[in-house]
A = this chain, B = another copy of it.
Amino acid sequence: MISDEAPAGGVPLAGFGSFYAGGRQVRIEGQPISRIQFTPTVDFDWDPNGLFHIEQAYVQWFVPARRRHALPIVLLHGGGFTGAMWEATPDGRPGWLQEFLGQGYAVYVVDNVERGRAGWCPFPSLWPGPPILRSAEEAWSLFRIGAPQDFAARRPFDPQRFPVAAFDEMIRGAVPRFPRQTDDAAVRALGEVLARIGRPVALLAHSQGGEIALRTALAAPERIAALVQVESSGFPPAGAAVAFPVLQVIGDHLDATPLWVDLAARYRGFAADLAAQGTRNDVWFLAERGVRGNSHMPMMDDNSAGIAGEIGAWLRTP
C-alpha cells in the first residue's frame, strides 16, 4: 500500500463492472464508397455499407464493500444527459450513485439508447434527426434555476438550491438527443437491461427518463419492486393498472413556466389515480414539505444527500 492516494474519495466497493444490453443488428446497403483519411497515417476507401449494432444500452454496476440491502437500484438519466449525471454534482460533491452506494445499495447506472457509451446511430435512414443539444439558456429556464432574463447575470430564483456557481460545469454533461425518435428503442433497451439483471429492482428515473422507465415498468411489472420518478415527464395511459409502489419527487418554483404548472397538476392526478387503485404511492412536493428552493435537478442541489437519504428510507419502508 502506498500513502499517496490522489485521486481520493468515493465509496469503497466490493467490485464493479459493465455490460451492454438490447439493441438490434441492421444492414446498410447501396451507399457509395468514399475515400476517407482516418488519421494522418491511415487513409483508405471507406465503405459505409454493412452490418451494424444499434440501439443498445450500456450499464455500469457497482457493489459497495458494505452492502446492507438486497434490493438493487437502477438509475436512469433524463433527456440530454448520460449516467455520468449521477456520479458527482457540478460543484464536486458526491452524486446519488455515491450516496446510494454509501447507504449500502448495489447500483446500476444506465446510459440508454442515443446517450453516452450506448452510442448513437448516424444513419438518417434509421434515425432521421436532426439531433438537438440543449443550450445553457434552455437548461437555465427549463430546470427552474432562474428566470430567462436572469441567465446572463446567472441570477437564480430565491431561494435556489442548485449550485449556481457551477451551472456552466453542468452543461459539460449535456449530450445530443433525438427527441421522441428513439423513445421506443429506449424502452426496449431498458427492458433488456432489467431482464439481464434478472431480479426486481428499484427503478429511479429523472425527467424524460421517467417516461421511459414508466413504459418499461408497465410492460414488465414483475421486474419492478418500486418506481421512483424524480421530476418526471412520464405518466401512464388513462386507466392503466400500476402494480408497483411509486414515489414522485418534485422540487420548487413550479409556477415558473406553464409547462411546470401543467406537470404539477399531472403529478397530483397520477397520485390520485394510484390512490384510487389502492397502489402504494407517495408524492413529495418538496416545497410543500417545507423544503424550499429545489430545482429540476435535486440530485445536484445543495440538499442532494438528504433527499437521497429520504428516498432510501422510503424504499426500505414496507
Q: Does A46 sit within 8 A of B, measured CB to CB?
A: yes
Complex CA gap A28/B15 in Å reads 43
Q: Does A48 sit within 8 A of B, measured CB to CB?
A: yes
Q: Interface size (A, Cβ < 8 Å)?
A: 97
Flag A289-306 by CB within 8 Å of B: 1 or 0 each: 000000000000000000
Our pick among B37, B87, B174, B197 for the contact of A179 (Cβ within 8 Å) is B37
From known contacts A51-B136, A211-B41, infer whether A119 and B174 are also in contact, taking CB-CB under 8 Å.
Answer: yes
From known contacts A52-B133, A119-B176, infer whether A69 and B208 are also in contact, taking CB-CB under 8 Å.
Answer: no
Q: Does A158 sit within 8 A of B, measured CB to CB?
A: no
A76-84, A246-254, A276-284: which lies at the interface: A76-84
Q: Does A16 sit within 8 A of B, measured CB to CB?
A: yes
| Residues of chain B within 8 A of A18, CB atoms compared | 84, 87-88
CB-based contact A53/B136 at 8 Å: yes
CB-based contact B138/A50 at 8 Å: yes
Q: Does A245 sit within 8 A of B, measured CB to CB?
A: no
From known contacts A15-B10, A172-B56, infer whether A122 and B116 are also in contact, taking CB-CB under 8 Å.
Answer: no
A161 to chain B, nearest CB (A): 22
Complex CA gap A50/B37 in Å reads 32
CB-based contact A168/B25 at 8 Å: yes
| Residues of chain B within 8 A of A98, CB atoms compared | 17
Complex CA gap A47/B306 in Å reads 35
A309 to chain B, nearest CB (A): 20
Q: Does A205 sit within 8 A of B, measured CB to CB?
A: no
CB-based contact A16/B10 at 8 Å: yes
A80 to chain B, nearest CB (A): 9
Flag A177-204 by CB within 8 Å of B: 1 or 0 each: 0011001000000000000011100000
A184 to chain B, nearest CB (A): 12
From known contacts A15-B10, A122-B130, A175-B120, infer whether A136 and B61 are also in contact, taking CB-CB under 8 Å.
Answer: no
| Residues of chain B within 8 A of A137, CB atoms compared | 47, 50-51
CB-based contact A53/B172 at 8 Å: yes
CB-based contact B88/A19 at 8 Å: yes
| Residues of chain B within 8 A of A84, CB atoms compared | 18, 58, 117
CB-based contact A235/B123 at 8 Å: no
Complex CA gap A44/B132 in Å reads 14
Our pick among B19, B123, B211, B263 for the contact of A133 (Cβ within 8 Å) is B123
A1-9, A218-226, A310-318: which lies at the interface: A1-9
CB-based contact B2/A67 at 8 Å: yes
Q: Does A259 sit within 8 A of B, measured CB to CB?
A: yes
Q: Does A169 sit within 8 A of B, measured CB to CB?
A: yes
Complex CA gap A222/B34 in Å reads 40
CB-based contact B174/A135 at 8 Å: no
| 14 A-B pairs whose Cβ atoms sit less than 8 Å apart in the complex | A7-B61, A9-B17, A10-B63, A11-B15, A17-B98, A20-B169, A28-B135, A36-B179, A47-B138, A50-B135, A83-B117, A119-B175, A122-B132, A122-B176
